Amino acid sequence: MVLLSSLNVLLILFPGFNTLDMNGPYEVLRKSGLSQNFNVTVASETDITTSIEGLHARRDIALNHALFQQLPDYDMLVVPGGVAGPGSAVEAQAANITSPFMTLIKEFAGLAPSSTARPRVLLSICTGAMFLGTLGIFNDRYCTTHWKALTDLQKSVNDAAARTHGRPGTVVPARFVDSGNNTRGVRIISSGGVSAGLDASLYLVKSLYGEEEALDTAEMLDYVWRKTDGVVLDGMRYY
């Protein structure tokens, strides 16, 4: 699919997010400010959100229940991760399953495509996959995350499947996994750790705007795109 119009992207932050998990996709989608293919809006529950590295990011809009009414206006949702594991910011955020942050992810996964030419895409970066796994979004799907969090994500996926009476998904090591559309027509893509978000985002650019645009973006970023290190699924089959 090659689109001619620009897509609206919502990128959500939480305290303790990883800076490259946010900036990697942002750089790719905006092509260092030279592309108009994606309009990126940053949302968080507080005006200033501090990353695990200490960077302070200012939101464009508030992540609250009022934003849920605007979700149909967005074609893509990007969910970064951070340091995971016991006592981590990611664990705390995932455990607060009724928070606006977690609820927004769940609501977006349930949206229908606005039209055949404007698909819905849900992209998790690195351990941002833990949020999707906790919500059962990876039920009966393949997914990936940072290599150090693969076991933790599989446990989260298994627990969510048991809680929601679904089939557990399968966690695989990869730079990215495109598991196709869910039952609502939302395309679910997950990336591996940190810099793998660049590869996943470039793959998305290729899928939506063509390989030439993706290669041009990678060249602009002076980045060697590992485009063959991902897993793309046709239904539940690898190819």
Give the pLDDT confidence of 38-53 residue by residue, as tens digits.
Answer: 999 999 999 999 999 9
Structure tokens at 60: 């464009």
**pLDDT value for 116:** 65
How open is the CA angle 33-12-120, to the nearest 5 degrees? Answer: 80
| Regions of the chain short of the pLDDT cut 50 | 235-239
Say if domain 7-238 classifies as CATH 3.40.50.880.
Answer: yes
Please tell me the predicted confidence (pLDDT) of residue 234.
Answer: 62
Q: Which residues of 184-223 are buried (b: 16+ CB within 10 A; e: fewer)?
A: eebbbbbbbbbbbbbbbbbbbbbbbbeeebbebbbeebeb
Scanning the structure block, which residue is given the tokens 């041009």? Answer: 216
Digit-coded pLDDT (tens) for 71-98 = 999 999 999 999 999 999 999 999 999 9
Q: DSSP for 145-168?
A: --GGGHHHHHHHHHHHHHHHT---
Domain regions of the chain by residue span: 7-238
Q: Which two tokens stand for residue 208?
A: 């939506």
Structure tokens at 136: 């059962």
